[in-house]
A and B are shown apart, each in its own frame.
Chain A
């Protein structure tokens, strides 16, 4: 079975294939989305949530830190972007920077508080902080617009070396969002395979041993929290542009729970791409199943519960098993005795 801690084979082809596939799918989305009965705005939503989910999985899957209140950072990013447009300047890069910074700052404060903790204490503190942020955004009517939300957030134009592109059209925003997603994928991919990323994974596997190997464990936990909050902030900024508004409900436990469910169901516990699968599954369920019945979220939740019990390796894990079965018994019986390639890695 695959694991997040597997070493990527050095073969360049294997390495870049999924990323290339994603890039192509994104590039041609405006063409194939309608053919499967979906629509442009959905493409924006999906890419935004993929950014959120991938960043979240750095914390949840790779570092093994279970945050159940991460929606707060998406929300903070959204509000920060909106407030920046309204109070400072109408600027795309400024707004996104503000979103990332604000969410990162919140993550830094909360992270500093919780990173010495483990297990259930950690989880419950993330819920508590999430609720505090949610509650605050509902009550601070003057700043956030309270329950009515922050409305009228503009979509500032994209300026790049003197060229200006309007983002008012969903198609244009989709491409911006897709670009951000690709950047996210590349950054996170390098990050999880870097020394820093391997240390995070070591922490997940055995915190005691990591400590005895000389690592300041809580600093790494803190860093993972901040980084994942920053990606959430980026997603939030894009989200507020997409909706042209920001509401407290993304900070609710409900929404924070959704990202957990997506990531697990997709296979985030065993694969880098798990969150991607999870987001796709969620939105397909929402739009396809949702078209049939009002109780679609209930079914998604029940599916989540079933997978926790039966298939915690999620979709990615199931795909991997199926792929191995297709390739025949040889592949299944042993990743252990396969010939290492030139650099000594198993292929």
Chain B
């Protein structure tokens, strides 16, 4: 049983990161009623943007570049944690603009468009950053081993878990305590009502998309040392994100968090027994859950059923 502890910790960390991704995903689904198949790509973009920022490759051989690289890893990392998601948000908003013509059409077109976007973004990543596995330079303060309950664990994973938790709390505060958050929650519940109340629905959609994309991008950056970074990582993320919101219920904040933790744990524990097959456990889990109980844990009929 003790042997399971690191895997459980892994699972929880993964779960918290999944929660971050799922929250952005479920907000988009809730307010816009489309499944953003490109959500994983936004996750990947965040990570790749951070990679370039940290490494300074964008600044090339300029004086700025030189100055930039002279800064400590810590400073650059923190900066990347802000700028990466911001850039992902911009990409997300660009995607939303592309999606506009499809809103009045059958849901198929939005689906095809986000699917196409996912492939296009993956191709852009391949062309811009290469197809190989990449690494993100992380500050030594959060890197390295640490002794926990008699076994060696990764300091970074604690950081990742803690950071995700903070981010989740921040999102919750935003949704509960700010007026914008209230509008988003209302929009997730009933977008027609929100429009009737006089809010600009298109601006709301744009912002929600950007916000969701930022969350995905942030998760992407934090996830790199755990999951690795390669162009395909975007696809690997969309499946658990969807699985989580189906399990947790559309638009449900705590549903997403709870389901995310469950999925994370499932993947983490599978990792204990069948290493390489851990990723596949997500797909199996999706098949089992959606195959048998598509209404999720909270059983509400949702917009997805059309």
Contact = CB atoms under 8 A, between A and B. Distances in A.
Contacts of A123: 111
B111 A120 contact: yes
Nearest to B231: A254
Contact of A125 (B116, B117, B280, B287): B287
A121 interface: yes
Interface string B123-162: 1100100000000000000000000000000000000000
Interface in A127-165: 127-129, 131-132, 135-136, 139
A209 interface: no
Contacts of A297: 123
A302 to B, nearest CB: 6
B119 A128 contact: no
What class of interface size applies to chain A in its complex with B? 35 or more
The main secondary structure of chain B at its interface with chain A is helix
Interface in B277-297: 277, 279-280, 283-284, 286-287, 290-291, 294
Interface stretch (B20-28, B100-108, B188-196, B217-225): B100-108
A49 interface: no
A105 B242 CA distance: 27
Given A128-B286, A309-B101, A66 B108 contact: yes
B127 A305 contact: no
Interface string B93-118: 00000100110010111011101111
B304 interface: yes
B306 A129 contact: no
B239 A308 contact: no
B280 to A, nearest CB: 5
Nearest to B280: A135
A312 interface: yes
Nearest to A119: B306
Given A68-B115, A254-B119, A308-B109, A124 B286 contact: yes
Contacts of B35: 120, 124
Contact of B290 (A66, A124, A261, A302): A124
B239 A124 contact: yes
Nearest to A254: B119
A117 B290 contact: yes
B160 to A, nearest CB: 25
Contacts of B127: 294-295, 298
Nearest to B302: A120
B52 to A, nearest CB: 18
Q: Is the interface of A mostly helix, strand, loop or mixed?
A: helix
B120 interface: yes
A263 B279 CA distance: 30
A257 interface: yes
Given A68-B115, A297-B123, A304-B116, A253 B283 contact: no
Contacts of A80: none
A113 interface: yes
A301 interface: yes
B203 to A, nearest CB: 21
Interface in A273-302: 294-295, 297-298, 301-302
Contact of B102 (A117, A127, A139, A308): A308
Contacts of A128: 239, 283, 286-287, 290
B239 A127 contact: yes
A50 B120 CA distance: 23
**Best-surrounded residue of B109, B123, B279 (most CB of chain A within 10 A):** B123
B108 A305 contact: no
Interface string A249-270: 0000110010011001000000
Most A CB atoms within 10 A — which of B107, B127, B286?
A: B286
A118 interface: yes
Nearest to B283: A128
B115 A257 contact: yes
Contacts of B115: 68, 257, 260
A124 B113 CA distance: 15
B290 A309 contact: no
A124 B306 CA distance: 14
A227 B276 CA distance: 33
Nearest to B276: A139
B116 A305 contact: yes
Contact of A257 (B111, B119, B124, B283): B119
A24 to B, nearest CB: 34
Given A124-B290, A301-B123, A309-B113, A135 B306 contact: no
B235 interface: yes
Interface in B256-306: 276-277, 279-280, 283-284, 286-287, 290-291, 294, 304-306
Nearest to B238: A127
Contacts of B279: 135
Interface in A213-237: none
Nearest to B110: A308
Contact of A121 (B116, B120, B290): B290
Interface of A: 66, 68, 113-114, 117-121, 123-125, 127-129, 131-132, 135-136, 139, 253-254, 257, 260-261, 264, 294-295, 297-298, 301-302, 304-305, 308-310, 312
24 contacts: A66-B112, A113-B287, A117-B290, A119-B305, A120-B35, A121-B294, A124-B242, A124-B286, A128-B283, A128-B290, A131-B283, A132-B283, A139-B276, A139-B277, A260-B112, A260-B115, A295-B123, A297-B123, A298-B127, A301-B119, A305-B116, A308-B112, A308-B113, A309-B101
Interface of B: 35, 98, 101-102, 105, 107-109, 111-113, 115-120, 122-124, 127, 235, 238-239, 242, 246, 276-277, 279-280, 283-284, 286-287, 290-291, 294, 304-306
> What 8 A-B pairs are tightest by C-beta distance, nearest first?
A301-B120, A305-B116, A128-B283, A298-B123, A309-B101, A128-B286, A135-B280, A304-B116
